[in-house]
Chains A and B, each alone.
Chain A
Amino acid sequence: MENRPLEYDYTVAKMFMLTTVVFGIVGMSIGVLLAFELAFPGLNTILGKSAAQYTAFGRLRPLHTDAVAFGFTVSGIFATWYYVGQRVLKVSMAESKFLMFIGKLQFWLYVVGVAAAVVSLFMGYTTSKEYAEFEWPIDIAIVVVWVLWGVSIFGLIGIRREKSLYISVWYYIATFLGVAMLYLFNNMEIPTMLATDAIGETNMGSWMHSVSMYAGTNDALVQWWYGHNAVAFVFTVPIIAMIYYFLPKESGQAIYSYKLSLLSFWGLMFVYLWAGGHHLLYSTVPDWVQTMGSIFSIVLILPSWGSAINMLLTMKGEWQQVASSPLIKFMVLASTFYMFSTLEGPIQAIKSVNAIAHFTDWIVGHVHDGTLGWVGFMIMASLFHMAPRVFKRELYSKSLMATQFWIQTLGIVFYFTSMWISGITQGMMWRAHDEYGNLAYSFIDTVNVLHPYYALRGTGGLLFLIGFFMFSYNIYKTMTAGKRLDSEPANASPMGA
């Protein structure tokens, strides 16, 4: 056998890159359909009335949220971990047959789990807890996949050559621990067969349907402790892990302040877990929980901006790279959207603002400028950076990437501006009353007013989806037709015209 020098092994990273692209297309396409269903309700029966249950908003909505969060984003997290993890720990997956096996097993179980989730949600099996809709057998499969990822993370750390753990590794570990804790506690559930029909007398229960172990307000508290921290540990923490590696690496600039990155990390860990109460303002949870949720949400600006400003200052003296490289553009705008979202969120968590914002489209707008601008941009940028290194080919087209950037940025602006206007309009109309306290508008009045903004939101989403297809094509062509590279590029990724 030829005695080849040791190289990083990206087999598992490539597998997860594929699912990132595939689940991104699925999740975002469903999202665009849903946006247009809200603007044009006839689309709820797009495949005819007999298939209405499969195409109606209520059935598809969890498919959209779960596909983009647990399909697209989580695949992106795994793909980047199997790339970044090896590099900053200076150890190759090829050095451990065991870890390679675990990585592949994790991938295949993950694919089976996602397929089961998609099919069961389509069929209407749901726990009806937001972002935790999967029924208990799938929850168990997800826990197994997650434990395998943990074995991978700590296994790779165990055989590392670099003693210190790079800041991104800290963030990946936090993702692993955070989601593990949240997922387990929020998905404590009992099949209704066991709850109602343990000895088989009544024939009322079901093995495929379960109820939460918590009831009423407690259930709501646990659910939003989970729900908000799913945003923390799926949409924030691992994405910061990505930007702390990929932006310095692509730009060739050292992190502006490594000390600030450590401070922001611990700040985020302390503060984030307490903020979930802001989802339950003006509800039946204790007042102090609501106040605490508001206050911690505002304090959260500090560690969030600590990371975001650190990333922007990393570009100090190198801003010409933003103009010349579409890849740097994606990352710098991702960081900017992160700042923007993490200011908007705390504002919405202030009680008096929340009185208008709660249950309106403004919340949906907030989520999407975070997920499209920050999460979506950063995951795509990470894959763009990884592609030339894992496929050993030049990126297929710089101009396609630049066009994608502008189309998607325009799409995001359409999305959040329309949702700002419609959300605040909704909030104001719901509250408006005459001098006797009678409501000034009925619900349908708001629906009529909001129609144009819903159409605009759908258009924004469609532009983002078109951009995602351009991204997928660019990655596919890089893999199959990009110019071959003799050596690995150190920093700026090489791009064809």
Chain B
Amino acid sequence: MDVNTFAAYGYFFLIIFLVVGSYSYIYHLYKNRKDSSGVDYEHYSDMALKDDIGDAPVKPISDEKKK
């Protein structure tokens, strides 16, 4: 197998991998709806809407430190 054939196979399988990866990611997002820390993905919009310096963060970094 010369290097071009090798590159072509590599490219083909990379594309298959990326397609499977991206569809799995879509499936994962819409099935779980929440991330690993239990926050609904849609709540992250509040990071823009409630962005005064006094507003409560959606996921405060200090919580992480307490654990």
Contacts and interface: CB of A to CB of B under 8 A. Distances in A.
Interface of A: 5-8, 87-88, 90-92, 160-164, 166-168, 244-245, 248-249, 252, 254-255, 257-259, 262-263, 266-267, 270, 288, 488
Interface string B40-64: 0111111111011111011111111
Contacts of A167: 44
Contact of A6 (B43, B45, B53, B64): B53
A90 B47 CA distance: 9
Nearest to A87: B51
For the complex, would chain B's binding face be called helix, strand, loop or mixed by DSSP majority?
helix
B49 A7 contact: no
A7 B30 CA distance: 37
B44 A166 contact: yes
A116 to B, nearest CB: 37
A188 B26 CA distance: 39
Contacts of A254: 42, 45-46, 49
B61 A163 contact: yes
Chain B interface bracket (under 10, 10 to 19, 20 to 34, 35 or more): 20 to 34
B50 to A, nearest CB: 9
Interface string B9-25: 00000000010001001
B48 A90 contact: no
Contacts of B42: 254-255, 257-259
B40 to A, nearest CB: 9
B30 to A, nearest CB: 7
Contacts of B60: 161-163
Contacts, number: 82
Contacts of B39: 164
B22 A270 contact: yes
A419 B39 CA distance: 49
Given A249-B51, A259-B29, A259-B30, A162 B57 contact: yes
Given A262-B29, A266-B25, A270-B22, A248 B49 contact: yes
B47 A88 contact: yes
12 contacts: A7-B53, A87-B51, A90-B51, A161-B60, A161-B62, A162-B61, A249-B49, A254-B45, A255-B45, A259-B30, A266-B22, A266-B25
Nearest to A302: B22
Contact of A245 (B48, B57, B62): B48
Contact of A88 (B18, B48, B59): B48
Nearest 7 A/B pairs, CB to CB: A254-B45, A162-B57, A87-B51, A166-B47, A163-B59, A163-B61, A255-B45
Nearest to B57: A162
A146 to B, nearest CB: 26
Nearest to B63: A163
B61 to A, nearest CB: 4
Given A254-B42, A267-B22, A164 B53 contact: no
A252 B49 contact: yes
A425 to B, nearest CB: 38
A90 B48 CA distance: 10
Contacts of A270: 18, 22
A163 B41 CA distance: 14
Best-buried of A166, A288, A488 by chain B (most CB within 10 Å) = A166
A266 B24 CA distance: 13
